[in-house]
């Protein structure tokens, strides 16, 4: 399955989510490759840190040079794509072959507006595809204080946008996500009992319900 984690805005958590999803899928014995289509190359850098530190399994990161669509479709296992506005050509190609598009949205009005614009780009990119991808948005960097209303308001506003499903799972603003990128470890590898680890587990299980038990996906009968 090809999952494209994308958003027009930088800093929304694309690379953080791709890296942690990749680590989670690998922990459930799923083969994963990641494509880093962002010229900032955050994901490639994290993969490199992980390799240098000798953490296993390593993360296989491709840069997607050449015929991107063909490459993405070639892999039998899970494919995660990290892409933003800095590579619109790569983004459109990835969207056109995506099974799922996942949009991390920080809790703010400008981020909702940017998501609205991004949905138009998605529609253009998938105008000719046979099967539409599932397009989901979720709040990343949510405030941990219940009294702060921005995350609720952002979810409500996202819910009014056409063509997307709003996931009932949030990832909060937590230091451990930052450490995850800088140390090359998934949040559950850094601290299995952390709040980030449990919220990420719930989030990832919702996205990949077949893999929650850590067994290889059964071939469909
Ligand atoms: N839920 C979160 N909590 C805390 N920091 C986060 C969270 N998500 C992302 N970050 C941090 O925000 C910065 C930008 O995230 P990143 O994943 O690189 O965004 P993008 O790839 O969309 O530009 C990074 O330093 C990252 O560690
Ligand atoms: Mg990034």
195 Cα: distance to centroid of ligand 2 (angstroms)? 23
83 Cα: distance to centroid of ligand 1 (angstroms)? 14
What's the pLDDT band for 106 if we cut at 50, 70, 90?
very high
Ligand 1 is surrounded, with C-beta below 6 A, by 10-16, 42, 140-141, 171, 173-174, 177-178, 181
Spans of all domains in the chain? 2-209
Mean pLDDT of the chain: 95
Tell which one of 16, 49, 199 to mutate to probe ligand 1, the residue whose CB is within 8 A of the most ligand atoms. Answer: 16
40 Cα: distance to centroid of ligand 2 (angstroms)? 7
Residues 6-16, mean pLDDT to the nearest whole number: 96
Angle at which helix 14-27 crosses helix 195-207, to 10 degrees, equals 80
CA nearest ligand 1 atom 27, residue: 178
What's the pLDDT band for 215 if we cut at 50, 70, 90?
low
pLDDT per residue as tens digits for the range 110-162: 999 999 999 999 999 999 999 999 999 999 999 999 888 999 999 999 999 99
pLDDT per residue as tens digits for the range 132-145: 999 999 999 999 99
Range 2-209: architecture per CATH = 3-Layer(aba) Sandwich (3.40)
> Is the confidence at residue 219, as pLDDT, over 80?
no
Within 13 A of 186's CA, how many CA atoms are on the CB side?
Answer: 26
Query: Minimum-distance ligand to the CA of 143?
Result: 1
Query: Minimum-distance ligand to the CA of 200?
Result: 1
Closest among 74, 114, 72, 78 to 92, alpha carbons compared:
72
13 Cα: distance to centroid of ligand 2 (angstroms)? 7
203 Cα: distance to centroid of ligand 1 (angstroms)? 16
The Cβ of residue 110 has, within 10 Å, a number of other Cβ atoms equal to 9
For the chain, the straight-line distance linking the first and the last C-alpha, in angstroms and rounded, comes to 18
Give the pLDDT score at 177: 98
Q: Cα angle vertex 21, ends 18, 23, to 5°?
A: 110
Cβ(134)–Cβ(99) below 8 Å: yes
pLDDT per residue as tens digits for the range 160-205: 999 999 999 999 999 999 999 999 999 999 999 999 999 999 999 9
Query: Minimum-distance ligand to the CA of 6?
Result: 1
pLDDT per residue as tens digits for the range 166-175: 999 999 999 9
Give the pLDDT score at 220: 45
Q: Which atom of ligand 1 is nearest to the CA of 38?
A: 21
What's the pLDDT band for 218 if we cut at 50, 70, 90?
very low
């Amino acid at each position: 399955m090809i999952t494209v984690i994308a958003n027009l805005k930088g800093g929304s958590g694309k690379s953080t989510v791709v890296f942690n999803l990749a680590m989670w899928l690998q922990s459930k014995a799923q083969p994963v490759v990641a494509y880093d289509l962002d010229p900032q190359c955050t994901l490639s850098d994290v993969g490199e840190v992980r390799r240098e530190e000798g953490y296993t399994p390593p993360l296989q990161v491709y840069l997607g040079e050449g015929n991107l669509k063909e490459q993405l479709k070639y892999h039998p296992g899970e494919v995660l794509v990290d892409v933003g506005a800095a590579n619109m050509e790569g983004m459109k190609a990835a969207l056109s072959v995506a099974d799922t598009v996942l949009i991390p949205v920080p809790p703010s009005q400008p981020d909702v507006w940017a998501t609205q614009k991004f949905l138009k780009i998605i529609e253009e990119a998938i105008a000719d595809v046979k099967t539409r991808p599932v397009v989901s948005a979720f709040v990343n960097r949510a405030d941990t204080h219940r009294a702060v209303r921005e995350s609720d308001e952002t979810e409500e506003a996202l819910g009014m946008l056409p063509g997307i499903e709003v996931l009932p799972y949030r990832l909060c603003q937590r230091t451990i996500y930052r450490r995850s990128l800088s140390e090359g470890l998934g949040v559950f590898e850094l601290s299995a009992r952390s709040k980030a680890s449990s919220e990420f587990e719930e989030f990832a299980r919702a996205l990949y319900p077949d893999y929650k038990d850590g067994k290889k996906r059964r071939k469909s009968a």
